[in-house]
Amino acid sequence: MLYGVLSNIAFLTDILYTQTINLINQVIIMPNHLIHETSPYLLQHAHNPVDWYPWGDEAFEKARREDKPIFLSIGYAACHWCHVMAHESFEDPDIAEILNRYFVPVKVDREERPDVDSIYMNAVITLTGQGGWPLSVFLTPEGKPFYGGTYFPPTPRHGLPSFRDVLLAALQSWENDREDLFKAGEQLSKHIRAMNDWGIAPGMVLRANLLEQVTHALLSSYDRRYGGWGNAPRFPQPMVLEFLLMQVTRGNVDALKPVEHNLQVMSRGGLYDIVGGGFARYSTDNDWLVPHFEKMLYDNAQLASVYLHAGILENHPWFLRTATQTLDFLLREMAHPLGGFFSSLDADSEGEEGKYYLWEYNELRQILEPVGLWDFFLQVFKASPEGNFEGKIILQARADWERLPELTGLSENAFQEKLDNLRKFLSQTRNLRIRPSVDDKIIVSWNGLALRAFAEAARYLNRNDYLEAAQRNAHFLLENLYTPKGLMRTWREGTPRQWALLEDYASLILGLLALYQSDDQVKWYEWAVRLADEMIARYRDPAGGFFDTRDDQKDLLLRPKDFQDNATPCGNSLAANALLMLYEFSGENSYYQLATQVLPLLQDSLVKYPTAFGFWLQAVDWTMGPARQIAILAPNNLDEVKLFKNVLWKTYRPRLVSAVSTFPPAEKCPALLHNRSVLDGKVTAYLCEGFVCHHPTSDVHIFREQLEPGDGD
Residue 554: predicted pLDDT: 86
Q: Provide the pLDDT confidence category of residue 4 given band limits of 50, 70 and 90.
A: very low
Q: Which of 14-28, 368-382, 449-463 has the lowest mean pLDDT?
A: 14-28
The CATH number assigned to the domain with range 31-196 reads 3.40.30.10
User: What per-residue confidence (pLDDT) applies to 273?
Assistant: 98
Mean per-residue pLDDT for 140-157? Answer: 92
**pLDDT tens track for 283-336:** 999 999 999 999 999 999 999 999 999 999 999 999 999 999 999 999 999 999
What is the bridge-based pairing of β-strands 656-662 and 628-634? parallel
**What is the Cα–Cα distance from 312 to 463, expressed in whole angstroms?**
14
Residue percentage of the chain with pLDDT more than 90: 84
CB distance 508 to 444 below 8 Å: yes
Low-confidence winner among 8-22, 270-284, 516-530 (lowest mean pLDDT): 8-22
Nearest to 298 by CA among 525, 116, 63, 114: 114
pLDDT band at 180, cuts 50/70/90?
A: confident
Q: How far is CA 323 from CA 280, 391, 460, 547, in A?
A: 14, 31, 12, 34
User: 522 or 691: whose pLDDT is higher?
Assistant: 522
Q: How confident is the model at residue 158 (pLDDT cuts 50, 70, 90)?
A: confident
Summary mean pLDDT of the chain: 92
Mean pLDDT over residues 336-341, rounded?
98
State the pLDDT confidence band at 29, using cuts at 50, 70 and 90.
low
Q: Are strands 282-283 and 291-292 parallel, antiparallel or unpaired?
A: antiparallel
For 534-588, write each residue's pLDDT tens digit. Answer: 999 999 999 999 999 999 988 898 899 999 999 999 999 999 999 999 999 999 9
**Residue 459 burial by Cβ neighbours in a 10 Å radius (0-12, 13-18, 19+):** buried
pLDDT given for residue 513 in this prediction? 98
In this prediction, residue 427 carries a pLDDT of: 97
> Mean pLDDT lowest for which of 182-191, 325-334, 397-406, 639-648?
182-191
Please state which of the ranges 76-85, 192-201, 208-217, 331-340 shows the lowest mean pLDDT. Answer: 192-201
Domain boundaries, the chain: 31-196, 474-624, 628-707
Confidence of residue 98 (pLDDT cuts 50, 70, 90): very high
pLDDT over 50 (residue 9):
no
| DSSP three-state, residue 131 | coil
Enclosing H/E stretch for 426: helix 412-430
Band (406; pLDDT cuts 50, 70, 90): very high
Class of the CATH domain delimited by 474-624: mainly alpha
Cα separation, 435 vs 115, whole angstroms: 31
Question: Which long-range contacts link 174-182 to residues 24+ away (Cβ below 8 Å)?
Answer: 174/68, 174/69, 181/140, 181/146, 182/140, 182/144, 182/146
User: Which helix or strand (DSSP H or E) is residue 14 part of?
Assistant: helix 2-29
Residue 18 has pLDDT above 50, yes or no: no
Q: What's the whole-number mean pLDDT along residues 72-85?
A: 91
Residue 97: predicted pLDDT:
96
Quickly list DSSP for 164-204. HHHHHHHHHHHHH-HHHHHHHHHHHHHHHHHHH-----TT-
pLDDT confidence of residue 312 = 98
The yes-or-no verdict on residue 435 having pLDDT over 50 is: yes
* Residue 628 pLDDT level (bands cut at 50, 70, 90): very high
Other C-beta atoms closer than 10 Å to the C-beta of 219 total 16
Q: Is the pLDDT of residue 630 over 80?
A: yes
The predicted pLDDT at position 185 comes to 84
Residue 159's pLDDT is: 82
Distance CA 74, CA 76 (A): 7
| Confidence (pLDDT) at 387 | 95
Tell me how far apart the alpha carbons of residues 56 and 48 are, in angstroms, rounded to a whole number.
19
Answer yes or no: is pLDDT of 348 > 80: yes
pLDDT above 80: residue 227: yes
Does position 625 have pLDDT exceeding 60, yes or no? yes
Residue 26 has pLDDT above 50, yes or no: no
Predicted local confidence at residue 22, as pLDDT? 37
Q: Among 622, 556, 307, which residue's Cα sits nearest to residue 453?
A: 307
Find the mean pLDDT for residues 458-480: 98
- The answer on pLDDT for 187 being more than 90 is no
At 470-508, the pLDDT tens digits run: 999 999 999 999 999 999 999 999 999 999 999 999 999
Report pLDDT for 189. Answer: 86
pLDDT average, residue stretch 513-535: 97
Tell me: pLDDT of 275 over 90: yes
Q: What is the mean pLDDT of residues 675-682?
A: 92
Of 88-97, 193-202, 238-247, 364-373, the range with the lowest mean pLDDT is 193-202
The number of CA neighbours under 13 Å toward the Cβ of 18 is 6
Residue length, the chain? Answer: 713
The predicted pLDDT at position 157 comes to 86
> Within 13 Å, how many C-alpha atoms sit on residue 142's CB side?
9
